[in-house]
Structure 1
Amino acid sequence: MSEDVLDGEQPFTTDDTETWHRVHPVSPLVRGWVAVVAVIFIFGRNSLESVFSEGWDGGNALTRGTPALFMAVVVGAAVVIFGVAFFLSWRFTRYQVTDEHVHINSGIVFRQQRRARIDRVQAIDVAQPLVARAFGLAELKFEVADGGKSAMKLSFLKLGEAKRLRAAILARAAGVAIDPEAPGQVQEAPESHVLALRPGRIIGAAFLGSTTVLALCVIAAALVAVAWSGKPGVLVGAVPIFIGIGAAYWKNITGDFNFRVAVSPDGVRLHYGLLETRSQTIPPGRVQAVGISQGPLWRLCGWYRVHVNVAGYGTDSSDHGSRTVLLPVGTLDEVMAVLGLIFPDPGVENPFEVFGAGLRGPADAQGFVHSPRSARWIDPLSWRRNAFRATETALLCRRGVIFRSLQVVPHERTQSLGLRQGPLMAALGLVDFELHSTAGPIRPLVHHMSLANGLQLFDEQAARAATARRVHRNEKWLATPVVEPALPVEPVEAPAATEQQLRIKEQERGY
């Protein structure tokens, strides 16, 4: 049973077309306290400066209390103005969840009416900022497939209400059949624990990450500057940089703290955060691409980081990209466990060996095809690491020597394909193969392939993607699937490279 049912709360009931709801009445306070504090800080600082410069005893008795009185008037006016504005914002914000759509109406002067199809929802987050946690409130945010431009938010709801609303949206998106005896009622799906990261590993990963590499470079540059100038005072110029580095450490640690992975019929659930907690749900089949990366310092501990492209998240530049992180730091076994949640069928009989070879194996291990020897002239370090392999369900692309990465793209999630070739690559008989995914941190790319291998992969991957899209048409993962028979993919013999093909700049194919 779900947590809400155990607490004795009623399951969420979807609405009819005449029923509307409002967010919690405390929402204006949760959203507006930052503005009030900013006004108090600005005018309070000015008043204190005036006191210390002129003193409380300066002037006559009529003007003696002016700074404090002025501050009180300004702060009071700010509280009233912001309070009225946020109250009206709350008063004119309504939402409705039916079996097919989510509606949100908002705006005071400029009214806005938004509607999203439930079956197009890509992911749902339940976030609790620090102040909202004190009131037991949460923000519900769900994405549709447009790169994050139409993210819809409900700020703020009671935590139990947000969970039940999330359950209703995910159940309808999954195609759960409506019970005729209890129409519209949905209970939150239970979840099963998969793994949790210890605080020590989160802290260790932060101090062995790219931020430490930057800090070492700054320290080295500062020491060189002191030795060259002979003036230790130049170190003062590096203080803002070190403050920024410290803030980056703090954000990485607090953002990934208490990271837990669970699985439910709704999809993969991620829980993380120290001050602001977030419960993130990614429904099955919504992951467009997966990227596994490893930095040079993490190699000492055997740690990897897993990112995902999800339609709706976009590049996720906020919160150090935590919303696109499927696993902030994990061993190879943990990486494989997480991949098994989103890719139940890897398309090979020995997935551990194949994915392990993609991350750290020899150049041509487990069927990976790497760059030819001619690529060493323009890529002397990683030409043997640039490789690809296609399984029955996904395409694997790997690259990098110092910073290693492996990208995995399901065939049915292929958006388009591209081949690129510049003048120098044309002279060496090389080509770059790019598989286009939705907007996100992962850009699947195979550098410096031979022209013959590039053309062959281009044709074969186009056939695989078209076949997979016909087979995996059903977006409602809990509904009865309609599966068409798969058409066999015949190997395509690579044609002989012509002079025109050698001069190709780019050729693409979309789906």
Structure 2
Amino acid sequence: MSEVQFRKVHRATPLLRIWTLLLAVLAAFILNVNASAVAFVWGLINGEHTLALVPMLLTIGGVLLAGVLIWGLTKIWWNAVGFRITAEEVQLKRGVVSKDLRTARFDRIQAVDLVESFIARIFRLAEVRVETAGGSDSAINIGFLKKHEAEALKRELLDASQYPSRTPAQGLREEEAVEDDVDKQFLVPKIPVQRTIASTLLSLTTIVAVLGAIIFFFTPLGISAALPFLVGIVPPVWNLIDKSWQFNAELHDDRLNVSYGLANRRKQAIPLERIHAVKLKQPLLWRLVGWWTVTVTVVGYGDTTQGGTSKILPVGSKELALKVLEAVSPLSREDIATAADPARISQPNYAPPEAARFLTPVDRTRQGVTLIGAQPHAVVLHEGRFVPRMAVIETSHIQELTLKHGPIQRTLGLSTVVLDLVAGPVSMSASDLGAADGKELLDILRRRQLPALESTPLEQNSLD
């Protein structure tokens, strides 16, 4: 059988990688040329200058030569980049002077995203991002490709990672054959633009930005002092809008497909088995309208997803948040009804004692740990009075357990049990429990059922 050949990315890829630099150079050139051109034309009108063809032709020739050089140099980079899909993995090669080959086995792929940056959308191109079990730094970015080619590659990789026994081509043909007959279940309908804008306006980040702008612009501090503040505060506000703009999520088999974005459109495909922890949160001002947000920790995404999102519900009603929780967590509808109301804690197995009021006087009665099942298969943590938060995790997904006693806690007879999870936005700690309760909870969770370890053989890969 002949070896699978590397496929090429789109020829414009090198230029799109450095488009901001090219745009800055072009803007500076146009600005200078325009200023010189206006002065020259004005001189011709006043008779101060005569028409000189040689400098004009030299300028035009220099621009054309620079364009040819850039195109030629980027072709060298383009020729060194390629990707291929074998029977067991996806490979990406790159590098002109030093060669680099990155691989991701199908059984190690955590998620596959389709990313359409602002500049790529203009040319109808897209990038495929493959998240692996090695964390955020191990992601493989394949791009840029024509949009329909990127979508086909995404389907091919998703099918191969879900059914590693089949070849990618077989899986792709089968998925395309049934694609029209699949009844996609929309978990989160498209979020209205009005709700996105309203939720952003009601966020603490936006309020701080507005108050800061008012203080800086209407006080002697002036614009120069306000500029660093705005540079730091505007990106988070924009991030809130961009990652919830026309957000929608649908369930397809055992995979959650989310789509969102204003400037940068992104489509993420998250296998449900890769979701380890879920957190529901209600920001302070959202309590006025009853909105919640749902965040998840996905294996392989880490603390950052380079433009991706860990929120599978940016903003929505409590009923919708609980529907999402039921779909992606180990809790059943009955479990949620009896023990997982995010707004209040009903019957916790463990809660801070009276002595903890000195450490948590505000929300002591809102903190607690609820174990689901006789042999617990899930843990639910509640906390927060003014900003209610609830986190859920399957016990087999807990990586490590830590029992902590600070100096004040030891004096009051308290302890904290820290649930160490895979890297991600969700963290869980049972804070300020009684010392005996903390040790008992630790012993129970230590007896949790752990997943079987897998080993992956190492193989040699060739750059050819």
The equivalent residue for 2:102 is 114
Shift of 1:280: 0.4
Matched, 1:210 2:201: no
Shift of 1:219: 6.0
Distance in 2 between residues matched to 1:176 and 1:266, nearest whole Å: 15
The equivalent residue for 1:169 is 157
Deviations 1:64-116 (A, max 9, x none): 89998897677555534442333222211111112311111111111101111
Instruction: Report 1:12-411 matches (<5 A).
Output: 17-45=3-31, 57=43, 76=64, 78-175=66-163, 178=166, 185-188=173-176, 190=182, 191-196=184-189, 197-215=191-209, 217-218=211-212, 232-237=219-224, 239-240=226-227, 241-242=229-230, 245-246=233-234, 248-265=236-253, 267-316=255-304, 318-319=306-307, 322-343=308-329, 345-346=330-331, 349-356=334-341, 359-362=342-345, 365-392=346-373, 393-411=377-395
User: TM-score by structure 1 length?
Assistant: 0.77
Residue identity matched to 1:397: L
Q: Would the aligned equivalents of 2:302 and 2:424 in 1 still touch at CA under 8 Å?
A: yes
Q: Would the aligned equivalents of 1:123 and 1:280 in 2 still touch at CA under 8 Å?
A: yes
Identity rate, percent: 27
Unaligned regions of 5+ residues in structure 1, if any? 1-14, 227-231, 476-511
Distance in 1 between residues matched to 2:340 and 2:64, nearest whole Å: 62
Shift of 1:53: 9.9
Shift of 1:144: 0.7
Unaligned regions of 5+ residues in structure 2, if any? 456-464
Q: Would the aligned equivalents of 1:167 and 1:186 in 2 still touch at CA under 8 Å?
A: no
Distance in 1 between residues matched to 2:139 and 2:366, nearest whole Å: 38
Shift of 1:132: 2.2
Higher relative contact order (CA 8 A, sep 6+): 1
Residue identity matched to 2:209: A
Q: Would the aligned equivalents of 1:416 and 1:437 in 2 still touch at CA under 8 Å?
A: yes
Residue identity matched to 2:199: A
Distance in 1 between residues matched to 2:340 and 2:52, nearest whole Å: 75
Q: 1:218 to 1:410 in 2, by over 3 A?
A: same
Q: Would the aligned equivalents of 1:268 and 1:341 in 2 still touch at CA under 8 Å?
A: no
Q: Would the aligned equivalents of 1:308 and 1:442 in 2 still touch at CA under 8 Å?
A: yes
Residue identity matched to 2:296: V
User: TM-score by structure 2 length?
Assistant: 0.84
The equivalent residue for 2:458 is none
Q: Would the aligned equivalents of 2:107 and 2:164 in 1 still touch at CA under 8 Å?
A: no
Matched, 1:442 2:429: no
Shift of 1:121: 0.7
Distance in 1 between residues matched to 2:148 and 2:139, nearest whole Å: 21
Q: Of 422, 426, 450, which residue of structure 1 is paired with 2:410?
A: 426
Distance in 1 between residues matched to 2:62 and 2:403, nearest whole Å: 62
Shift of 1:427: 0.6
Distance in 1 between residues matched to 2:267 and 2:413, nearest whole Å: 49
Q: Would the aligned equivalents of 1:137 and 1:159 in 2 still touch at CA under 8 Å?
A: yes
Aligned residues between the structures: 443
Shift of 1:48: 6.0
